[in-house]
A and B are shown apart, each in its own frame.
Chain A
């Protein structure tokens, strides 16, 4: 009698991130990882206008040994991109230039960052890494188009409020930055590698590492 009256133990509600993932109903575990990282970026690191992209995997029929090294791997690789509230990475030479010219990080317009969500135990090779960097320019363009469609005037925002001296300095800086992008003196392409621990006791921590293409000297932290 008593047992019947007692209510069956209710399972606690799923966490926000689990709900977020189940809601989307992904067919690939990689995309679920991507959703978790997106949630983390948006809510813990307060990134804005996060968008996603995906590098499609290759069909299984090709012999892996004789494959072209430029071909992407079998598994799909999800990509994310968004605007962090503060700059995540500044190249040491760029920092020097900014110091010499009295430019502060707050003066600069926000910079879109790109993220590769991964999880512990997932297959990862140099081929994956190369595929990500080969795809970045395309994704960058996509993101720019997205930004323009959402807010066509966002790029000009704040420019009027600056005094002319500072505006000139900033113009010089952006010129220099464009040149540095071509010569790669302030580092080549870069993205963030997000790593999620999903094993037993995975606590939802996401570790972020900056990955550069090529040899880029370290920051003197």
Chain B
């Protein structure tokens, strides 16, 4: 379950976006590094279905930067990394296809095993029911001491049960040969669509990694809150820069609407009222903050994160 991907995890840089295509990487980053990102993948056939989205996962530049700075991830230029596709040898190609097929077989085997187990369980249940019905019938026969009544009692359920068992048997017959024999015909292999292309292609060398992503001025506050254990997500939907959750967003409501300011950037008092009011209206705090140092005053972003000061606002109710 707790899959540990090989580090650093390659983040795909595609036309200005930071994307993750591996579900293992996505779950790992969420579990271990509190990075949630936003799922943006939809179904090609039904693109208007956007309530439940899937892979790929898009990361904010701040999230990508944080992971790169931590040494957990690296940025890979997807277009360049796929140049190697043309030079892939025929031999490699075939090996890759074989590999995919064996993966497909593995999946279908697991599936048929599960089916088999379910079937056995159902059969066992049916048998138990049958035995119970029989015992009941015998008991009632013994009590009534008339031979005609129990015959009727047992004759009604038995054909039904037989039919059900037959149905399962028929299925059993059709699918039992593949499970019995070790070689499964290739038709039954599940089609596998890999989400990542690094097994056929070599993992890009570290020299080809792109530099750490450029981040907006709000990055120090983002990193500061992240280091305090908050999960952060984009705040556009809520009228702020980030939403700060005290734990996984699937389990917690957010605590703060976050807006970052530079140390000497003018804050309109009315914005504080608006933010405080908005936050209080949805049972959240309005958090403002920023780094005391500008980017040109320090060597790295990490130095700025240490000097962040934050303030939370709530309506006083008076």
| Chain A residues within CB distance 8 Å of chain B | 45, 64-65, 69-70, 84, 88-89, 118-127, 129-130, 133, 192-193, 195, 207-221
Determine the distance from Cα of A216 to Cα of B287 in the docked complex, in whole angstroms: 9
When the two chains form the complex, which single residue of A118, A195, A213, A217 contacts B246, counting CB atoms closer than 8 Å? A217
A129 partner residues in chain B, CB cutoff 8 A: 288, 309, 311
Q: Is the CB of B311 within 8 A of A213?
A: yes
**Cβ contact within 8 Å between B263 and A125:** yes
Please, how many angstroms separate the alpha-carbon atoms of A207 and B307 in the complex? 30
Minimum CB distance partner of A217 in chain B: B255
Contacts of B262 in A (CB 8 A): 126
Name the B residues within 8 Å of A192 (CB-CB).
Answer: 316
| B66 at the A interface (CB under 8 A) | no
Cβ-defined contact, B263 with A193, below 8 A: no
Given contacts A88-B318, A126-B263, contact A221 B269 (CB under 8 A): no
Contact check: which of A45, A84, A210, A221 meets B313 at CB < 8 Å?
A: A210
Query: What's the Cα separation between A149 and B316 when bound, in Å?
Result: 30
User: Does B311 contact A123, Cβ atoms closer than 8 Å?
Assistant: no
Which of A121, A133, A209 is in CB contact (< 8 Å) with B273?
A: A209
Cβ of A193: which chain B residues have Cβ within 8 Å of it? 272, 313
Q: Are the CB atoms of B285 and A216 closer together than 8 Å?
A: yes
Inter-subunit contact A214/B312 (CB<8 Å): yes
Cβ-defined contact, B283 with A220, below 8 A? yes
Report how far A212 CA is from B286 CA in the complex, Å.
10
Residue of B nearest to A123 (CB): B266
Supply 11 A–B pairs (Cβ within 8 Å), ascending by A: A126-B264, A127-B263, A127-B264, A130-B292, A210-B315, A213-B309, A214-B310, A215-B287, A216-B285, A218-B314, A221-B317
Q: How many interface contacts (CB-CB < 8 Å) are there between A and B?
A: 114
B residues with a Cβ closer than 8 A to A are 225, 228, 230, 244, 246, 255-256, 261-270, 272-273, 276, 279-280, 283-285, 287-290, 292-294, 307, 309-318
Given A211-B311, A215-B230, A221-B280, 17 additional A-B pairs, CB 8 A = A64-B264, A121-B269, A122-B269, A124-B267, A125-B263, A126-B261, A126-B262, A126-B309, A192-B316, A210-B313, A210-B316, A211-B312, A212-B312, A215-B225, A215-B228, A215-B287, A217-B285
A195→B316 contact, CB < 8 A? no
Task: Please measure, in the bound complex, the distance between the C-alpha atom of A110 and the C-alpha atom of B268, giving whole angstroms.
Answer: 33
Q: In the bound complex, what is the Cα–Cα distance between A7 and B255 (angstroms)?
A: 63
- Considering residues A65, A120, A209, A212, which has the most beta carbons from chain B within 10 angstroms of its beta carbon? A209
**Also in contact, A126 and B273, with CB within 8 A (given A89-B316, A211-B311, A218-B279):** no
One of A118, A133, A209 near B276 (C-beta < 8 A): A209
Given contacts A69-B263, A69-B307, A192-B316, contact A119 B269 (CB under 8 A): yes
Question: Roughly how many angstroms separate A192 CA and B317 CA in the complex, as a whole number?
Answer: 11
- In the complex, the 10 A-B pairs of residues with the closest C-beta atoms, listed nearest first: A69-B292, A208-B316, A218-B285, A212-B312, A209-B276, A210-B314, A124-B267, A210-B316, A216-B312, A209-B313
Which residues does chain B contribute within 8 Å of A45, judged by CB atoms? 318
Using CB atoms, name the residue of chain B closest to A124.
B267
Tell me the smallest distance from the CB of A141 to a CB of chain B, in Å.
22
Q: What chain B residues lie within 8 Å of A88 (beta carbons)?
A: 316-318
A47 to B186, CA, bound (A): 84
Closest-by-CB residue of B relative to A64 is: B264
Q: How far is the CB of B24 from chain A (nearest CB, A)?
A: 32
Determine the chain B residues whose CB is within 8 A of the CB of A209 once the complex forms.
272-273, 276, 313-316
A126 engages B267 (CB within 8 Å): yes
Answer whether A130 and B309 are a contact pair too, CB < 8 Å, given A125-B266, A218-B279: yes
Name the residue of chain A whose CB is nearest to the CB of B255.
Answer: A217
* A214, B224: Cα distance in complex, Å: 11
Q: How far is the CA of A65 from the CA of B265 in the complex (A)?
A: 11
Q: Could you say which residues of chain A place their CB within 8 Å of the CB of B315?
A: 208-210
Give Cα A214 to B225, complex, Å: 10
Q: Inside 8 A of B314's CB, which chain A residues have their CB?
A: 89, 209-210, 212, 218-219
Given contacts A193-B272, A220-B283, A221-B283, contact A126 B313 (CB under 8 A): no
A182 to B224, CA, bound (A): 22
Chain A residues positioned under 8 Å from B246 (CB to CB):
217
**Shortest Cβ gap from B165 to chain A (Å):** 57
Closest beta carbon of chain B to A213's beta carbon, Å:
6
Q: How many Å from the CB of B172 to the closest CB on chain A?
A: 57
* Structural contact, B312 and A120, CB atoms closer than 8 A: no
Min Cβ gap A133→B in Å is 8
* Shortest Cβ gap from B149 to chain A (Å): 66
In the complex where A123-B266, A213-B311, A215-B225 touch, is A69 in contact with B316 (Cβ < 8 A)?
Answer: no
